[in-house]
Amino acid sequence: MPTLPQETSWASEPLAKYQGMCLTLPILKGHILAQHHFQPQATHSILLATFPKSGTTWFNALLFSIINRNLLEFSILCSPPIPMTAFPWSFWDQVLGYWNAGLESPNRVLFMSYERTMKEPLVCVKMLAEFLGQSFSLEEEKSRVIEETVKLCSFENLSNLEVNKTSLTQFGPEITLENDVLFRKGQAGDWESHLTGEMIERLDQITEQKFKGTGLMNSMISNN
């Protein structure tokens, strides 16, 4: 780690460049440890990969609730483990890596969009459960378990949990954040409030250039 090129981030914390990504040092340490020691098991390893502020906490809660639904009382939910986040600089290459892996092994990689899940939550939660090998039974569907799962993991419910309003999460020896920073507005399209027209046009150009000919653009359009 000391040999890596470093810069100071906007948050005044040192960032180190490693394998095309710029990470804070505590997160980088965990990233390297995971690379060297994490051994995924085909029977129970689930990796949730998202861009920051694109529904990470929501999808994490959905995964947790779907898998553990037989153990849950729907009136009670403890906050699921909060995932560690890495920040790529080459975001498009990261997405393409997962997309190509999904083309090779469609039963092991599932692409979902925040916009479509917001628009059709029942359809998407059912699809997510099927992908996980945890399909809802006919009895569960009749008992409105899918609806209860969506309600349980809704923005309103998660953001109002006491643990998410008052608790802190330690992301490393030097990074502690309040859990409420994980919740913004719970709305699709809020990025338009933060980007200029020039920024949006530039991002669209890069996205079209990077994803051209891969089939991913069509998938993104249908997902939205």
DSSP letters, 137-194, are: PHHHHHTTHHHHHHHHTSHHHHHHSHHHHH-EEEEETTEEEEGGGG-S---TTGGGGT
Residues 26 and 83 in one domain: no
- In this structure, the answer to whether residues 22 and 112 fall within a common structural domain is no
Residues 33 and 52 occupy one common structural domain: no
pLDDT at 87: 42
Q: Which residue segment(s) compose the domain that 126 sits in?
A: 47-223
Asked whether residue 24 falls in the same domain as residue 77, the answer is no
In sequence order, what are the beta bridge partners of 89? none
- At 192 the pLDDT is 78
Query: Is residue 137 very low, low, confident or very high in pLDDT (cuts 50, 70, 90)?
Result: very high
**Cβ atoms of 113 and 220 closer than 8 Å:** yes
Q: What was the pLDDT predicted at 165? A: 62
Cβ atoms < 10 Å from Cβ of 148: 16
Q: Is 163 in the same domain as 189?
A: yes
* 171: nearest Cα among 53, 86, 107, 64: 86
pLDDT greater at residue 89 or residue 169: 89
Both 1 and 52 in a single domain?
A: no
Instruction: Note the pLDDT of residue 179.
Output: 62
pLDDT reported for residue 107: 87
Cα separation, 121 vs 147, whole angstroms = 9
Please check whether residues 156 and 113 belong to one and the same domain: yes
- The verdict on 191 and 134 lying in the same domain is yes
How far does the chain reach from its first CA to its final CA, in angstroms? 40
Place of tokens 């923005």: 155
CA–CA gap between residue 134 and residue 132 (Å, rounded): 5
Q: How many domains does the chain have?
A: 2
pLDDT value of residue 85 = 44
Q: Quick one: tokens of 22?
A: 């710029």
Kindly state the tokens that stand for 215.
């089939």
Residue 195: give its domain's CATH number. 3.40.50.300
pLDDT in tens, 77-111: 444 444 444 444 767 888 888 899 889 888 888 98
Distance of alpha carbon 27 from its chain centroid, rounded? Answer: 17
Shared domain for 54 and 161, answered yes or no, is yes
On whether both 182 and 216 belong to a single domain, the answer is: yes
| Model confidence pTM above 0.85 | no
Report the pLDDT averaged over residues 162-181: 62
Co-location of 166 and 64 in the same domain: yes
Same domain, 56 and 112: yes
Q: Do 183 and 57 contact (CB within 8 A), yes or no?
A: yes
| CA 1 to chain CA mean position, Å | 27
Mean pLDDT confidence for 139-150: 94
pLDDT band at 146 (very low <50, low <70, confident <90, very high): very high
Nearest-10 Cα torsion for 186, 159, 48, 219: -20
